[in-house]
Each structure stands twice: as structure tokens, then as C-alpha cells.
Structure 1
Amino acid sequence: MLQTLKQLYFEIRTPAAVPGTGSFAIASLAIVIDLVVTLSLFHLGNSIAISHTCGFIAAGSSLLILRFLGFDKTTVTITGDTSFQKTLSVLIYFLVQTAIRGGSIVSMNHFGLPELQALGLGILVATIIGSYSSGLLLSRTNHQSLYSSNWLSLGITLAVCIFALRLVFLGGMEVIPQEAYYWNYAQHMSPGYLDHPPLVAATIYSGEALFGHNAWGTRIGAFIYGLIFIFIFYRYARLQVDQTCAVLASVFALSLPYFFLGTGFLIAPDSPLALAWVMALYFFYRVLVNNEMRAWYGIGLAMGIGMLSKYTIVLLAPAALLFIIIDPQSRKHLLRKEPYIAVIIAALVFSPVIYWNAINDWASFMFHASDRFEEEPKFFLWMMLTNILAMVTPLPLLALPYLFTTNATVEDESLAMQVKSSIKSPFTPRVRLFIGVFLLLPMCVFAWNALKNEPRYNWTGPLWITLLPMLAWLVVHANRLRWHWSGWLLNKLTAPLLFLLIGLYAILLHFISLGLPGVDFPRGAARLVGWPEISQNILAIQQGLPASKNRVVVAGMDKYFIASKLSYYGTEEFLGNNNKLQVTGNHLFGDNSLMFAYWNPAEEFKGNTVIMLSRSESDLSDKRLKPYFEKLSPTVAAFPVYKDDLGLPEKTIREYYSRIGFAYKPIMP
């Protein structure tokens, strides 16, 4: 498999140091111009974002001028059949390669290189990476074998670009609050936790043991999970469709928003969950459709790993049972030993979580069964549908009608002649039943919950894995589909949407990591950026307090975002000089701070000084805080949030608020 895909990759790649020219000398000149312009602008006081973007534009402009003047006579073919497609190729190449440059620069800076050195070396590294990834967006060879197709070529191109973006930003983008929260798990290793099983904690712990406490070490496990995920997904897709469709399905499993962020970039329970989910589907398919009994043992392992990741995967069990009940050929499985051995394997793998719950009054199971939904019931089905559209786009929804029809393709002879040939769908009734029950039964559970509780945006993400091979097959054969309206939509929307998504990811990652030229961070970005600076400023407040024997504690005054980010960046690796912040949550004041209440019981901080940080001034009012302290600082102080590294100006994104309380007095319930 890998050898064939590698061969196809080198078949479509046009070797070039710099896309846009086949001349090594001219490519070298363009790189020199790029470096000179970039370093000069940075030396003059511009940000890294402005400097390297202008350098890249200058290099590209020089290539065009040299070609216009006749100095570069090498043949270069821009990808695309129409002017619009060629323009789109150039635009997306510019966005993706600019992002790869920005990610390379900021990652090297975060690994310890001074900004000037990171700027120069990052551009050179990004040029090499781009020649093997984003360059395919701009120019691909036309000499493709009949074995290769446009969809196959596009699929390979987008896949390598996505992996390049993930790789360069893995260590360059600040961890988001959820990642910082799970990092706190890894600082308190345990067989279980209140709100999630322990695999995400073990993953972060292992990554940082190898690479240290930084974004790369924190996220490397997610990247590895993503590699294994796409390998197994491709194998799953090949059980149903041919190579071209399997590659395109893999691109969907890389590029749709839930998968781009959740299965190979951000570290969260969804990273191992998605891997376990596709493993389980792969083995369930081999058991239920292909009748391979030994695959039951793989199901047991996959379900056990999934339950160590996130309890959601348990929904695959009733889906499998429903398939067995409906499908006469599968009912024999109930009389064999393999499924029951699979249950034992899953239970053994999952046993650490069972043990933790047993000694903690079944806290995690109760949290997910009832405590999580204590708020007043409301109708949120509309929100679930909105989340689906945001997480996987409307594309998979266009495939749903084909779960319920035997004849997916054109049958009329005159129509078949128009599309030159007829083709038989590989999705037999049993295959469609498999896809349907493993998608729709879990979906019904979430829909039932959304009738009275607010759904989370990522809950339904893994459910769509099972449908993606069918979606890819429908896209590749869009002009042969039974319902012409859906074929027309799939044919017209798929490629532009994939290009749009990868362009948006490039812009988003560059913006969060090092900003965009001339664009200010919005207020909402304060949750994502500027936290190394916030931690430094909190440390300055702490060091400015009068000397005292009492410990100083920092409390984040929300559920977990503030405390998680402060604890992540309030470490010696970011503060230096053996400095470290002691951070906890707002359970000190009777509110819910999830696992922080387990790790740091309020009574442990009796008599301590507490620095409180909040997004809302009202959280720090006298009325709320006076019962907990002998003394409070006179006023609530504005606390500006800003990002001032990488040459960015110190410009306030928004204001948080801080206050200091002395001699904390816990109020026991």
C-alpha cells in the first residue's frame, strides 16, 4: 500500500527547489531575495509575520519578472484546466506555503533559537518542506499514468499539505485551554479522572518525557495517533472501495474540520478516540460483513482502547448488536465464543478506569450519566445540527440518501451511454446496513440527548468515519449517480470546499501562532494567545507582594480555562529562574472547577494569599469574596492580555481582571 502511494506521489511531483521555475540558479536567486527582504524588514522593526510574508511576495514577484524578461525559459504548468482553477491553485499555494513558513519560523523560535536565526533558518526549512508538499498545489506533472486520476492526484496533494501544516505548527501554536487542562491530568497521573478516562494523560506524559514541557512534547502523541488513524482508515476504506476512492476518503478524514483538528493535531481525548473508533469499525466490518471470526479479538482491543479514551465509543456495541439482529447471516455470532472473549479483552484493557471509579464512589460514571446534565432541560436539536455542519461540513449529508437505495447509479441505457459506461455500486445491502447502523444508531442517541441537553460540538465527529468511503465513491462517480441534483452538488462543491478548508486552516494557524499582517487579534482570541505573557505578569504581581511565610496561590475564576492555561505556562520552562506558579480553580469559592477540586482541596489553602484572575469584574466583587478572606486588595485591577513575542507590538487584545485576597478561609459545605 505505502509503496504504491509513494510511487504515485513521485509520479505527480514536479522536482523543483522553488515551485514556479525549473532553473536551480533562478530558484537560488529567489531564495536570496526572500531572505534579504525578510531579514531587512525585521531588522527595521517589523513583526515576523509582516517580514516573512513580504519576503515571500518579493521572491515570487522576482520569478514573474525574470520570466517576463525572458531570463527564465523553463516550462512550468500551473495546475488547473481553467483560468479560475489556475488562479485558485496560485492563491491556495500562497496561503499554505506562507503558513508553512510561519509555522517553521515560530516552531524554531519556541525550540530556543533567537528570532533572527529562527527567521532565516525557518524560511530555508519551509522552502524544502514546501517543495515536497505545497508545491504540488501550484504545479503537478501532466504525465500521469492511466492508473492515476485527477481525484487521486488531488487527494495525495491535499494529504501531504495537511501533514505539513500539522507538523510545522505542532510546536509553534500555543496550547488551547482544553489541551492545557488535559496537561494537568498528566501532572496528576491516575487510573481515572472525573470527566475523562486516562489515555490522554498517559499520552501527554509520554510525549513530554521524550521532548520536554513544550507544545511539541504535549501534542506529539496526537500527531502519532493521526498517522496511525489515517493508515487504518485507508485500510478500512479499501475494504469497500478502490484505491482512488480510498485516497479521497482519507483526504476527507484528514481535512474535514473535526478530523483536521481532532485526530492528529490538538491533544484531547478525541485523538485516541478517533483512532480506536476506526480500529473498531475496521474489525467490525471484517467480522460482520466479511465473516472473519478472528477479527473479534481486534474489536475487543479497539473497544478497550476507546473506553480508555472517551466513553462515547460504547455506542458501537449496541450498533453491532442491532446489525446482528437485523442481518440473518450475522446472528450466528451470538452462539460463538469470539464475541464474548472480545468483551473480556475490552474489560481487561478498561479495568484501570473501573478500579478508579470503584474507589471513588463511581464519580466518573455518575458525572457522565447524570451530573453533567443538571442544568434545566432545553431543546438543543438545532445546535446539534449546527455542530454537525461546522464539524464535517454539509458534504457527508449529501451521501445519506444513498444509504436507502439499492441503485445508486444510472440505470437508464440512454443516460448510461451519455456517461460512456455504467458502474455498479460496491455498497451492497449488507454494506449499507453496516454503515447505516454504525452511523445512525449513535446519532439517534445524541439526537435524543439534544432534545433536552446542550450537545458538545465534537460529540458526533467520529460517527461520520463510517460514511466517508461511500462519500468518496459518490464524489468520484458523481456524473453517474441516480439523483442528478446530488451528483451535481458533489461534483461542483467537493474540490472547491477542500481547497477552501486547507486555505482556512493555513490562515487560522498562522493567525493564532504569529498573527497576520495588519490584522488585530479579536477579543475572543484572548483565550488562545498571550498566556506566556499573562503568566509572566502574574509572576510579577506575586513577586511584588510583601514578604510572608504564607504561600501565594493563583486561582482562575472560571470553570477550568484560566487555571489550565496558567498552570501550563506558569512553569519553570516558561518563567525561568526556578520560578513556578501554584495554580488552582474557583472551587475555592464554591464553584465547579472539575478535577482541580480533586487535586487541590480548598482546605489545603487555608491562610494562603490568593491572586485571582477573571474575565468578569463581577467575579471579584466584595460581596462574593469577602466571606473567604480576612482582607482584600482595595480595588479590582484591570489586567491587559496581549501577545508581544515574534516582533508583535504590545497591543491589548482584551482586559481581564485581577484581585488579591489575604488569609484565605475555606467555607466547608
Structure 2
Amino acid sequence: MSATRWLALLALATLVRLALAALIPLAPDEAYYRIWAFSLQGGYLDHPPMVALFIKAGMALFGDTALGIRALGSLGTGLASLMIWRATELVFPGRGVAAVLMLNATLLVGIGAVVMTPDTPLLLFWCAALWALAELSTSGDGRWWFAVGLAAGGALLSKYTGALLGLGILLWLLVERGAWRWWRDWRLYAAGGLAVAIFAPVVAWNAAHCWVSFAKQGGRAGAESAGVGLRFVGELIGGQVALATPVLFVMFVAGVAIAVQRRSVFLAAFVLPGAAIFLWQATGSRVQGNWPAILYPAAAMLAAGHLGAAWRRWRQAGIVVGLAMGVAVQIQALAAPIPLARSRDPTLARLAGWPDFAASVQRAARASGAVFVAAEEYGLAAELALHAGMPVVAMEARWAYLALPAPPPGAPGLLVRSLRRGEGAPNWPDAIPVEGELIRSRRGMEAERYRLFRVTSGTGPAPQVVLPPP
């Protein structure tokens, strides 16, 4: 495929992704990160602040809309694809298009280009670092270390797993003899200092908040029984087979294995340490399926570079199947042509029915004389803030770390609580149950049931904050 043709294909894919980003409903986590954009700071309980900066910039361009929240994700994935193409061409001439096509055909990257999570900017900066390192390795020009430092700092500012990039660089510098000379170059250490300086606001924020974010995301392993640990490992591997798509997963593993066999450390260093750490963590706690996304770019480059003509048909089949699966998931999220139950349709569970459900909550609130609605779950509160059309009070502990106003005391409200949290009493004391239930659904398929409670602001547990409306 000529460069002009594949660049046109990438531009078209980016436009399609922007259209999907504007049309597919926001997930609860995306609605939650939207709140961060109204309270920019050096860090948050869950993650560093880059996702909030991306959303803020996108909303400045396209408004407080789904497109505004997600726009930089779709554009960033297109830019990351260009960087992986260039990096692959430097290391494996003539294989860049194959690497980009395989990377974009994975569900994790293809669908991730349409949503906004901390993994979205992380993938962009990770790919930028691989590109800069490829330029550095092939040209021998030490000035590329400054680009590496900038990209590494951006990765750290996106998500804590960005630290695995530094681990990969360290492994490459230690193991590959041709890279040893960089230990004598001051620009290597300047790049490290640059990355640390970019990450400094996150450290300062944590220091001012008792290191709460570092503690929360520190992770654990080995705390569960052997049977549970094996189950989590099985979930992790099975999830990656699905998210990479089966054929491409096998090709990624084969490409990395051949690189190890040939003692080609450069790109394998950005796959193996992360894979080992995620497998280790899975022995004691669940590893979310999206976390290993950062391993995919180097794996795609290795698969494109090391798997020759004998794999060509498999590569073509994997790309076609992966793209088809991604299109099917996005069509289901957008239009739900297949009526699947919640247990079989993540798009129903996460995306479906929020505007109609919020309208029913608003009607119930007004009928009961409430002047606000409230929620214990952060995602539910964030979705209601987008759609309910009246003040929304959130009350989970994480909101204490955002600069948001408290509601006036003594105001009547309506608490919304998912039945998936169980039949127990809500965390808000003296909450009075309201008869009946509300259902969030899509075309008659039930996504979730909720109960309502009358509450009074100021009487429940702190914090209570008012979320910004659209």
C-alpha cells in the first residue's frame, strides 16, 4: 500500500471515529472525567491530570459535548498511528503500514479511539516515546533524548503505568550492548530530569493530600488464595485474547517471542516487563483489561517486523476480523440492532438509556418537591449531572479531592441508588424510601434498576458537592 493511500485511509478512519465520538453516548467514567475538567489540579484520587487537560482542550474546541470530551482521543490515536508508522519504518523498513493496521485493528485501540479515558493520552505519549527512541537508535543523534523525556513525562502525567516506559528504557540500556554508550551522554540524564519535572505537579499534589493517589493505585499481588489468583490470571489472558482479537494476539506473542530468540531487545523491552508485572499483579488482584494497552504498539511493530511472508494471510485475516469486530461493537453501541441482555452486551450496561432515565429521575424529583437529585456512585452522579436538568449532589469520598461547592443545608432532594448495590440502606442517614423503582433501558432491554429515597442536604455524610451541569 502506497504512503498516500494509507494516509488517506488513516484520515478517513479518524473522521469516522470523530463522528462516532459525537454520536455514541458517554460512559459513566467519561462523564466522571468530564467533572475533572471543571476542577483542574495537579492530581486526582484515581489518576494524574492529563485526561482532564485533554477534555478541557476538546471542550474549548467543540463545547461541553460528547465530541468535545472525546475529540482529542480520536485525533490523538491518528497521530499515534503516524508515529508508529514512522518508528516501524526506521526499525523494519517497509513494514510500517502493517504495524499500524494491526494496531488499529485491535478492539482495545479501535474502540479506545472513540472514548476518553486516561489510557487515551497515555497511548499517544507512549507511541511518541517509541518514535523518538527509534529515531535515537537508528540515527545516533542524542538530541532525540529530549523528545523521549517530553514523551515520558506526558505518559507519567497520563497514568501511573506510564512508569513502565522508563522501565523499558532502562532494560534496553542495560541489556543491548549498542545502547551502552548512552550512559556516558549527559542528554540521557537531562531527559530523565525533564520527565520527572513534568511529573512534579502530581508528586506535589499527592504530598499535599497524604499520598492518597499513590496509595490507591499502588496495587497488590499475592493476597488472594491460589485458586482466585489463577482465576485472575486466566481472566487477564482471556481478556487480552479478546481485546487484541485472537489472530492478532497470537501474532503479537509470536513477534515478541522471535525478538527474544534473536536477542533483539529494543522493542521487546517495551512489552516484556509490563507483561510480567501485569501477570504478577493478577496473582493477587484483578487486572483491568485496558491496562495492557501500552504493550500493543511495540508488539504490533515486532509482529510486523519479524513475521514474514508465511504469516501474510494470517495478518490480513487478523486485520479484517479485528476491524469487523470493532465496527460491530460500535454499531451496537450506537444503534443496538441486536437485542442482547446486559450480561452479554457491555454497551447496554454502560452506555444505554441515560437521557431517558435522567428525565424520569427529574420528573420524580419534581413530583416529590425535591430541588436536587443525589447519588452515591460517582459514575451515576456524573451521568445525572449531564442529563438530569437540575442540580446533582454527589457524596462519595473521592469528591472531597475536587474543588466543588457544597449544597446549601436543609434542601430537600431525591437520592437515586442502583439495586446492583444490594438491598441495604443507603449511606445517607434518615433517607426515606419512595415507593416504586425506575429502570434504565434501551429498546425494552433492561440495563439497570434503581430505587429512590427522600433526603435532606447537610444531614448525610460528607463530602456533599454539587456537580457542574452541562
TM-score, structure 1 normalization: 0.62
Deviation readout 1:170-204 (Å, 9 max, x if unpaired) = 21110112211211211222121011111110111
SS of the counterpart of 1:175?
coil
**2:97 corresponds to which residue?**
247
User: What's the % identity of the aligned pairs?
Assistant: 23
The whole-number CA distance in structure 2 between the counterparts of 1:501 and 1:465 is: 15
The answer on whether the counterparts of 1:297 and 1:341 sit within 8 Å (CA) in structure 2 is yes
The whole-number CA distance in structure 1 between the counterparts of 2:65 and 2:314 is: 39
The whole-number CA distance in structure 1 between the counterparts of 2:79 and 2:138 is: 23
**1:163 corresponds to which residue?**
14
Cα distance, 1:662 vs. partner?
A: 2.8
Alignment of 1:648-667 (within 5 A): 651-663=444-456, 665-667=459-461
The whole-number CA distance in structure 2 between the counterparts of 1:460 and 1:434 is: 19
Distance verdict in 2 for CA 1:504–1:468, change over 3 Å? closer
The size of the alignment, in residue pairs, is: 450
The answer on whether the counterparts of 2:259 and 2:306 sit within 8 Å (CA) in structure 1 is no
Distance verdict in 2 for CA 1:241–1:520, change over 3 Å? same
Q: Does 1:229 align with 2:80?
A: yes
The whole-number CA distance in structure 2 between the counterparts of 1:256 and 1:207 is: 25
The whole-number CA distance in structure 2 between the counterparts of 1:156 and 1:667 is: 54
**1:334 corresponds to which residue?**
183
The whole-number CA distance in structure 1 between the counterparts of 2:222 and 2:50 is: 27
Q: Does 1:181 align with 2:32?
A: yes
The whole-number CA distance in structure 1 between the counterparts of 2:349 and 2:161 is: 31
**1:404 corresponds to which residue?**
260
Q: Does 1:639 align with 2:438?
A: yes
**1:321 corresponds to which residue?**
170
Alignment of 1:76-87 (within 5 A): none
Q: Does 1:369 align with 2:214?
A: no
2:359 corresponds, among 536, 555, 572, to 536
The answer on whether the counterparts of 1:567 and 1:582 sit within 8 Å (CA) in structure 2 is yes
Q: Does 1:569 align with 2:387?
A: yes
**2:3 corresponds to which residue?**
5
The whole-number CA distance in structure 1 between the counterparts of 2:126 and 2:445 is: 42
Note the residue ranges of structure 2 that are not aligned, 5 or more in a row. 464-470
The whole-number CA distance in structure 2 between the counterparts of 1:205 and 1:295 is: 29
Distance verdict in 2 for CA 1:323–1:473, change over 3 Å? closer
The answer on whether the counterparts of 2:373 and 2:416 sit within 8 Å (CA) in structure 1 is no
The whole-number CA distance in structure 2 between the counterparts of 1:222 and 1:164 is: 12
The answer on whether the counterparts of 1:175 and 1:215 sit within 8 Å (CA) in structure 2 is yes
The whole-number CA distance in structure 2 between the counterparts of 1:467 and 1:655 is: 38
The whole-number CA distance in structure 2 between the counterparts of 1:447 and 1:639 is: 41
Distance verdict in 2 for CA 1:605–1:661, change over 3 Å? farther
Distance verdict in 2 for CA 1:603–1:272, change over 3 Å? closer
Q: Does 1:611 align with 2:467?
A: no
The whole-number CA distance in structure 1 between the counterparts of 2:357 and 2:61 is: 27
The whole-number CA distance in structure 1 between the counterparts of 2:392 and 2:322 is: 40
SS of the counterpart of 1:268?
coil
Output the aligned Cα RMSD: 2.9
2:350 corresponds, among 507, 527, 540, to 527
Note the residue ranges of structure 1 that are not aligned, 5 or more in a row. 10-154, 407-428, 480-489, 571-578, 588-592, 644-649
Q: What amino acid is aligned across from residue 663 of structure 1 in structure 2?
A: T
Q: What amino acid is aligned across from residue 381 of structure 2 in structure 1?
A: A
Asked which structure has the greater CA Rg, the reply is 1
Cα distance, 1:608 vs. partner?
A: 4.2
Q: What amino acid is aligned across from residue 323 of structure 1 in structure 2?
A: W
**1:411 corresponds to which residue?**
none
> Which is worse superposed, 282-291 or 439-448?
282-291
Deviation readout 1:361-404 (Å, 9 max, x if unpaired) = 2221122225x779856412222212221222323123233113
The whole-number CA distance in structure 1 between the counterparts of 2:110 and 2:335 is: 20
Distance verdict in 2 for CA 1:602–1:386, change over 3 Å? farther
The whole-number CA distance in structure 1 between the counterparts of 2:306 and 2:416 is: 52
SS of the counterpart of 2:266?
helix
Q: What amino acid is aligned across from residue 332 of structure 2 in structure 1?
A: F
Distance verdict in 2 for CA 1:374–1:553, change over 3 Å? farther
The whole-number CA distance in structure 1 between the counterparts of 2:294 and 2:433 is: 48
The answer on whether the counterparts of 2:221 and 2:281 sit within 8 Å (CA) in structure 1 is no
The whole-number CA distance in structure 2 between the counterparts of 1:433 and 1:373 is: 27
Relative contact order (C-alpha < 8 Å, sep 6+): which is higher?
Answer: 2
Cα distance, 1:335 vs. partner?
A: 2.6
Cα distance, 1:612 vs. partner?
A: 2.8
The answer on whether the counterparts of 2:59 and 2:69 sit within 8 Å (CA) in structure 1 is yes
The answer on whether the counterparts of 1:639 and 1:657 sit within 8 Å (CA) in structure 2 is yes
Distance verdict in 2 for CA 1:634–1:252, change over 3 Å? closer
Cα distance, 1:268 vs. partner?
A: 1.1
Deviation readout 1:407-427 (Å, 9 max, x if unpaired) = xxxxxxxxxxxxxxxxxxxxx
**2:301 corresponds to which residue?**
469
The whole-number CA distance in structure 2 between the counterparts of 1:194 and 1:281 is: 29
Deviation readout 1:229-251 (Å, 9 max, x if unpaired) = 111111111111223x2111111
Alignment of 1:253-264 (within 5 A): 253-262=103-112, 264=113
Q: What amino acid is aligned across from residue 333 of structure 2 in structure 1?
A: I
The whole-number CA distance in structure 2 between the counterparts of 1:161 and 1:545 is: 50
Q: Does 1:478 align with 2:309?
A: yes
TM-score, structure 2 normalization: 0.87
The answer on whether the counterparts of 1:272 and 1:309 sit within 8 Å (CA) in structure 2 is yes
The whole-number CA distance in structure 2 between the counterparts of 1:202 and 1:601 is: 17
**1:136 corresponds to which residue?**
none
Q: What amino acid is aligned across from residue 177 of structure 1 in structure 2?
A: P
SS of the counterpart of 1:633?
strand
Alignment of 1:20-59 (within 5 A): none
The answer on whether the counterparts of 1:156 and 1:247 sit within 8 Å (CA) in structure 2 is no
